[in-house]
Structure 1
Amino acid sequence: MRPFESLRRDPVLLTLIGITLVGCGLFFVFAGDSSLQTQIYWATQVPLDAALALGGWRLRGLAHTRYRRFWSMIGFAGASFTLGDSYQFLHTVLAPGIPSMSGGMVQTVFFAVGMTSNVIACLIFPQGLRTRRERFVFWLDATTVLVGGGVVAWCFAFNPISSVHVDRTNASVTAALVLVATFSATKVALIRNPPMARIAAWPMVSAAMIQGVSTFLPGDFQSTEHAYVFVIRLLPSVCIAVGPWIQVVLLRIGAVQDEPKRRPYSLLPYGMIAVTFVVFFMMLPDTATSQLVGATAGVVVITCLVAGRQLVAFHDNMQLIERLDQANAVDGLTLLANRTHFTEEIPRLLTRQSSMLHIDLDDFKEINDTMGHAAGDTLLIEVADRLRAAVRPGDLISRQGGDEFAILLPGAGPDDAALIADEILRQLAVPLDVRQHTVVTRASIGIAPALPGDEASALLSMADIAMYEAKRRGKSMWVHYTDDMGARVSAEAVLIREMSQAIENNEFMLVYQPIVRLADERLTGVESLIRWNHPTRGLVSPVEFIPLAERTGQIVTIGLWALGEACRQGAAWRREHPEAQNMSVGVNVAGRQLRTPGFVADVAAVLATTGLPAGNLTIEVTETAVLDDEESHEAMVGLRALGVKLALDDFGTAASSLGLLLTCPVTSLKLDRSFVESITTVGRQSAVATAVSQMASALDFASVAEGIETVEQRDLIKKLGYQYGQGYLYSKPVAPELIVEQWAAARV
């Protein structure tokens, strides 16, 4: 609303409107006195012309430097109009004669000079046309309008519509200049990066249109006996005067003009030829043959120009259709075949034994997360180029989406496919610079055999299975598909489907493994462990279903259930057994859970619902789950703010354990069982266990050793300074009622 409010309050615009209203009012007050009305008409024209000149000069300094020449010529046009109309006003006052709004020879010359200046300003203005073709089309349209204006002017010069017109030369000049000005002003209003906002340009466009209409209105609309004729003829001057001042106001308040989304002025040539033919045929019955030569020649020329424009449009349409076809077949970023086109081409190319490759870039998400999606796009384009360099002519490469690619190798058996896969890995391994960073790209590749008649979806599925097997084996390698892989994936698919119903069917259960204080071997806490009591398979090991749950995202739902069940059980123990008042209940949480929005709020809600104090809950996370992960770190800080304890589980198995100790707000370290099992026989295991204990003590962390199974291990762990122990020496994971029995046995 601000631009419109500023326009309504601008003193110059209000003055121009006031002058216009006063002039129009005087036309009606002195109706019947044509001489006085004509004098008022020319007197009112002068300040409007001066406003145009002053506005153009003002914008010459306010607007961008590339618009300076444009506004200088507009200001010059206003000055020409001012001089011509001032002369005509003085002439009507000092030497009154037959009232006329057409002006005499002097006024006509100044009008022609000013209008020509306007037209030149519009035509030489930087058009924003980037290519030779765009410039050719524009000037083809411009020539069409110019020739059409000339034909119309020629016709009116020999046979004007109204008998009131006595000056055919003046009428023809006015016709030509007004038509050309209409085109030029419309161009300025609608081209890319115009010199003035559309709200300012349209009044000037309207001025040229009104001028043309008012010049050729027949009959009573040309007679000075009617007051409204003066109003109609004054309107163009008002519109052309207010345009620059609207632009001045917009620049002063910093309003931003929108770039037009389309350019309707390309339709002008077709409208111009319609006007030309209408006027030509109107003149035809009453015009001598000799006078039709010029008009006929102009009509022929404009017809040829529009025909040429149609040929250009036809060519453009054909190119557009080709681009649309290409867009439907090509990935927009890499220019490789897209998934749809790739699938359609497989039956045509699959005429003999062949191979299908499925390629997935390793750790591509880290590029997007650390360097941004623009860097990721740059990398994908480079990968596409390297894939082209690695395959043979005739091989079909496609981008399946994201960082996944598929390649059909017609006629390539397993050995040839392996050689090409090796070449792809070699090409990708060459370092490349992405946004001033050196990146080494790795990929996992699955290879599947392809035979004529195979379904594209089946081939892609087999290659995809092999690709995931390559990732499972360590990434940056290729793997051939085997039937065993397919069987395993099918079995996993069934397990995933059944797992989605396990919570509703109450198939999950928790068991608890005691954690004892090594000083007196009293029970101080438990770690809750999930089990799946499958109705037909029996107990399914977490090793089987937890990785699948993490991969599919079901771990979030399963983990929330386990958290609620463990807290419920811990709260029940505290209510029923005095020994459980300070007992800690440990719950394992996956990295995907930590990164789930609202996880901290879910924990707080579970604690509030179950009544378990936050200090009695220990969230156990692995090092890999929180490695260089901002979302996980924020979640852990939020958990500590609740009062929940945090344990770094399986400590010592990841590469960045020491760095994590400085950033993660953990309260205890749990030494991984792999360091405990050989601690009494392998010196290095004992050294690592010693270092972990010393770090925990120095950082004021609690220390827990997992996997204690023998007395010798317990004694050595205790000697190394560990505070707590956990393992089969004390108890296997048991049902909650057996935890109660351990308290009872301890009291005996």
Structure 2
Amino acid sequence: MAALTLLGGVLFVALPDGVPQATAFWGLQVPFDALLAVGAWRLRQISPARFRRFWAIIAFAGACFTVGDFSQFITFSSDSMNGGAVQTALFTIGMCSNVVACLIFPQGLETRRDKSIFWLDAATVLVGGGVAAWCYAYTADDQFNAGLTAALVVVAAFCATKVALIHEPPMARVAAWPMVAACALQGVATFLPGAFQDPTNPAVLFVRLLPSALIAAGPRIQEVLVRRGGSSRRIQRRPYSLLPYGMILLTFVIFFAMMPEHASSQLWGAALGVVVVACLVAGRQLVAFHDNMTLIRRLGEHEVLLREQASLDGLTKLANRITFNEQMAAVVGTREACVLLIDLDDFKTVNDTMGHAAGDALLVAVAERLRRSVRKDDLVARLGGDEFAVLLPGADAGIGGAIADEIQRLLNEPVEIQSHTLFTRASVGVAAAAAGDEPSSLLSNADIAMYEAKGRGKSMWVRYTDEMGARISAEAELIREMREALDAGQFELVYQPIVRLTDLKTTGVEALLRWNHPVRGLVSPVEFIPVAEKTGLIVAIGRWVLWQACRQGVAWLRANPEVMGMSVGVNVAGRQLKEHGFVAEVARALGETGMPASCLTIEVTETAVLDDQESLDALLALRALGVKLALDDFGTAASSLGLLLTTPVTTLKLDRSFVESITTVGRQSAVATAVSQMAGALELSSVAEGIETPEQRDLLLALGYEFGQGYLFSRPVPAARIDEIIGTPAWVPGSTITG
């Protein structure tokens, strides 16, 4: 096309003035027209289906131009006067085809409002162009050719409207603008006066040849874009278009140009008033458009802010949980990845002692250190509270472990918060996944590994293993079965007698929970009680134990009036003491079953009430009900002596670990002696657990212990066996162990 245009310029300069130049002009028009037809047809074959009809019609128009201009070339070559009509007819058909292509092309407008706006704007442009064309045709000497000029102006205007207004044009703008410019250039050239209309003027002919080159270039540019995959881009439509206002202005200019030379002042005044009012209204509307654009821009900025707030954590500006899950799902579905789950150790202490402002400042500092510890393309997120996560695309567990080491190193550096130096510790779980693994399981595995790190002593990272997953799965199955067991009545209580060491009479019992699983058989309390405490199921199970023990205690008291002072001990976990309404539940159980408060002993461990105000308040309230309190497994925690000064206990139970070797190990005997002396000094009852031999019983009695419990007297037995034991010695020297 560039070569053809250059050739045309050379011919116009080299050839003499007159007909030979016109002949060369029409001869060069033909290949340009053919290029348009061929280019449009090739685009029809490679473009999306919704564009094919458009390009087919454009190809037809190009074919009409080719035949018509070739006919005109033959006319000039043979000095025949018959070709002009053929060229005019085919030119008219081709231009009409272009208009039809634009009219039937899908606009990409979905709502009725958008369609109405488009057609109103397009109609404004068409009417304005039609007015200009009509006025020119009315004043031209050759009105038929002037009509063709009018068609050129209208088509150029309509094509410009299409490019400006539609969402999904059939051509990219870089390809459409040459064709639009060509139509506009042809229309403007037609209106040029005098020498610019001389068909023998070489410069004019060259200007008229340029539009043909531009029209032929458009499909070629579009073809290159389509084959490279860069043309299917949706154009953002502006809220308004200035094109209709330009056409209104053009109409006013033509209106004044066509006014009679001797028009009256009244006509001029009225016309001028109409134009001024219309311009003022248009100006006011443009101001409103500007205000709307300002509002839209502000709304866009607000939308960006809302999107940022929806995807980022407000405090640390890290990604939030939603963003992290989305990115993790996208990454894990296509490639291997590693996830680190980070939970700050003892973060609650910072909030409780220094306030939430200090806690927030610490979280911000931690977030910054996490950013520094990862690679460029890794994603750091705050999932909530003091829990963070890191997504490592393309990383295996080895890389995850190295980054976990770096995280631990950076977090161990001191942090200055409110003039205080803090040292941050964190437990980190590392889990890796291959491409196609389930994203949710990856985060779950990291969570399992993180809790494993906490269980091993905190301030470390642990890599997830299948053994951990199997253990957690088994624990989850155990939790499910415990829920079913409570409803199915699989739990039962057995009772171990507590005897007075002086006369070996049974003075009380300790209620012990057992689980008779229909498949597993008897499940050890060591296996399921810790899980029940961790999950909170101990609250529901403990409530059942309390009521069952109270009912059984009342039954024993009613059947044996002579042992009205016999107590029933019920073990209570720390989770139960913290439960709102626990004291009220105990009071209700006592009242509804008829169990005397003095016959109920609540047994708690030292760790359950260690430095816990809620638990201490519950113990004080229980003591106010008249319930006895026993400190179970005494001597195994670090703050035993301090607890004696703060908790309202009535009984100390020496842990079995100090009894098993009391007759052979001097230190155990010393501890047992000290506990007995403390109980006596504080006027507390003393019970020794785990007594299995007569020698242990004799030594403990000599050390001052009042009561004992162990296999020497009886194993835990069903409630029916306790009826046989009440009122009789639990053990006679020389007899075998009961139970």
**Structure 1's 429 and 522: CA in aligned 2 closer, same or farther, altered over 3 A?**
farther
- Tell me which residue corresponds to 1:387: 370
**Structure 1's 439 and 728: CA in aligned 2 closer, same or farther, altered over 3 A?**
farther
Distance, in Å, in 1 between the alignment partners of 2:720 and 2:688 is 24
- Contact 1:618/1:646, CA 8 A, preserved across alignment: yes
**Structure 1's 294 and 701: CA in aligned 2 closer, same or farther, altered over 3 A?**
farther
Shift of 1:375: 4.1
Residue 319 of structure 1 pairs with residue 301 of structure 2: yes
What is the SS of the residue equivalent to 1:618?
strand
Residue 332 of structure 1 pairs with residue 293 of structure 2: no
Residue 572 of structure 1 pairs with residue 555 of structure 2: yes
Residues 601-616 of structure 1 mapped to structure 2, 5 A cutoff? 601-616=584-599
**Structure 1's 733 and 429: CA in aligned 2 closer, same or farther, altered over 3 A?**
farther
- Contact 2:378/2:393, CA 8 A, preserved across alignment: yes
- Contact 2:341/2:428, CA 8 A, preserved across alignment: yes
Shift of 1:332: 2.1
Point out the more displaced range, 366-375 or 536-545. 366-375
Give the one of 569, 584, 596 matched to 1:586.
569
Point out the more displaced range, 495-504 or 735-744. 735-744
Give the one of 632, 649, 658 matched to 2:641.
658
**Structure 1's 647 and 371: CA in aligned 2 closer, same or farther, altered over 3 A?**
farther
Residue 377 of structure 1 pairs with residue 377 of structure 2: no
**Structure 1's 608 and 706: CA in aligned 2 closer, same or farther, altered over 3 A?**
same
- Tell me which residue corresponds to 2:36: none
Distance, in Å, in 2 between the alignment partners of 1:680 and 1:441 is 47
Q: Residue type of the partner of 1:440?
A: F
**Structure 1's 741 and 303: CA in aligned 2 closer, same or farther, altered over 3 A?**
same
**Structure 1's 700 and 428: CA in aligned 2 closer, same or farther, altered over 3 A?**
farther
**Structure 1's 286 and 678: CA in aligned 2 closer, same or farther, altered over 3 A?**
farther
Distance, in Å, in 2 between the alignment partners of 1:385 and 1:621 is 44
Shift of 1:655: 2.2
**Structure 1's 556 and 314: CA in aligned 2 closer, same or farther, altered over 3 A?**
same
- Contact 2:331/2:337, CA 8 A, preserved across alignment: no
Q: TM-score, normalised by structure 1?
A: 0.58
Q: Percent identity?
A: 62
Give CA deviations for 1:439-479 in whole Å, capped at 9, x if unaligned.
43322222112111112101011111222222222222222
**Structure 1's 507 and 347: CA in aligned 2 closer, same or farther, altered over 3 A?**
closer
- Contact 1:347/1:453, CA 8 A, preserved across alignment: no
**Structure 1's 627 and 378: CA in aligned 2 closer, same or farther, altered over 3 A?**
farther
Q: Residue type of the partner of 1:516?
A: V
Shift of 1:640: 0.6
Give CA deviations for 1:70-89 in whole Å, capped at 9, x if unaligned.
xxxxxxxxxxxxxxxxxxxx
Give CA deviations for 1:569-619 in whole Å, capped at 9, x if unaligned.
111111111453111111011111111111111101101111111001110
Q: Residue type of the partner of 1:355?
A: C
- Tell me which residue corresponds to 1:513: 496
Shift of 1:405: 2.0
- Tell me which residue corresponds to 1:633: 616
Q: Residue type of the partner of 2:399?
A: D
Residue 713 of structure 1 pairs with residue 696 of structure 2: yes
Gaps of 5+ in 1: 1-283
What is the SS of the residue equivalent to 1:624?
helix
Shift of 1:292: 12
Shift of 1:721: 2.4
- Tell me which residue corresponds to 2:486: 503
Give CA deviations for 1:251-296 in whole Å, capped at 9, x if unaligned.
xxxxxxxxxxxxxxxxxxxxxxxxxxxxxxxxx9999999999999
**Structure 1's 720 and 287: CA in aligned 2 closer, same or farther, altered over 3 A?**
farther
What is the SS of the residue equivalent to 2:484?
coil
Give the one of 738, 741, 745 matched to 2:721.
738
Q: Residue type of the partner of 1:674?
A: S
Distance, in Å, in 1 between the alignment partners of 2:321 and 2:283 is 50
Residue 490 of structure 1 pairs with residue 470 of structure 2: no
Distance, in Å, in 2 between the alignment partners of 1:362 and 1:465 is 16
Q: Residue type of the partner of 2:325?
A: T
Distance, in Å, in 2 between the alignment partners of 1:416 and 1:454 is 18
**Structure 1's 559 and 456: CA in aligned 2 closer, same or farther, altered over 3 A?**
same
- Contact 2:563/2:727, CA 8 A, preserved across alignment: no
Distance, in Å, in 2 between the alignment partners of 1:434 and 1:725 is 54
Distance, in Å, in 1 between the alignment partners of 2:268 and 2:700 is 119
Q: Residue type of the partner of 1:682?
A: V
Distance, in Å, in 1 between the alignment partners of 2:652 and 2:727 is 29
Residue 364 of structure 1 pairs with residue 351 of structure 2: no
Give CA deviations for 1:374-431 in whole Å, capped at 9, x if unaligned.
4443333332222222222222122222322221222333232222222222333334
**Structure 1's 655 and 423: CA in aligned 2 closer, same or farther, altered over 3 A?**
farther
Distance, in Å, in 2 between the alignment partners of 1:367 and 1:570 is 46
Q: Residue type of the partner of 2:625?
A: L
- Contact 2:341/2:450, CA 8 A, preserved across alignment: yes
- Tell me which residue corresponds to 2:516: 533
**Structure 1's 297 and 540: CA in aligned 2 closer, same or farther, altered over 3 A?**
same
Gaps of 5+ in 2: 1-265, 733-739
Q: TM-score, normalised by structure 2?
A: 0.58
- Tell me which residue corresponds to 1:265: none
Give the one of 651, 662, 677 matched to 1:694.
677
Q: What is the Cα-based RMSD across aligned positions, in Å? A: 3.0
Point out the more displaced range, 430-439 or 628-637. 430-439
Give CA deviations for 1:160-195 in whole Å, capped at 9, x if unaligned.
xxxxxxxxxxxxxxxxxxxxxxxxxxxxxxxxxxxx
Residues 336-485 of structure 1 mapped to structure 2, 5 A cutoff? 336-350=318-332, 351-434=334-417, 438-485=421-468
Aligned residues: 465
What is the SS of the residue equivalent to 2:607?
coil
Shift of 1:509: 0.5
- Contact 2:494/2:513, CA 8 A, preserved across alignment: yes
Give CA deviations for 1:73-123 in whole Å, capped at 9, x if unaligned.
xxxxxxxxxxxxxxxxxxxxxxxxxxxxxxxxxxxxxxxxxxxxxxxxxxx
Give CA deviations for 1:102-157 in whole Å, capped at 9, x if unaligned.
xxxxxxxxxxxxxxxxxxxxxxxxxxxxxxxxxxxxxxxxxxxxxxxxxxxxxxxx
Q: Residue type of the partner of 1:535?
A: P
Give CA deviations for 1:40-61 in whole Å, capped at 9, x if unaligned.
xxxxxxxxxxxxxxxxxxxxxx
Residues 99-498 of structure 1 mapped to structure 2, 5 A cutoff? 308-350=290-332, 351-434=334-417, 438-498=421-481
Q: Residue type of the partner of 1:687?
A: A
- Tell me which residue corresponds to 1:595: 578
- Tell me which residue corresponds to 2:118: none
Q: Residue type of the partner of 1:314?
A: I
Shift of 1:620: 0.7
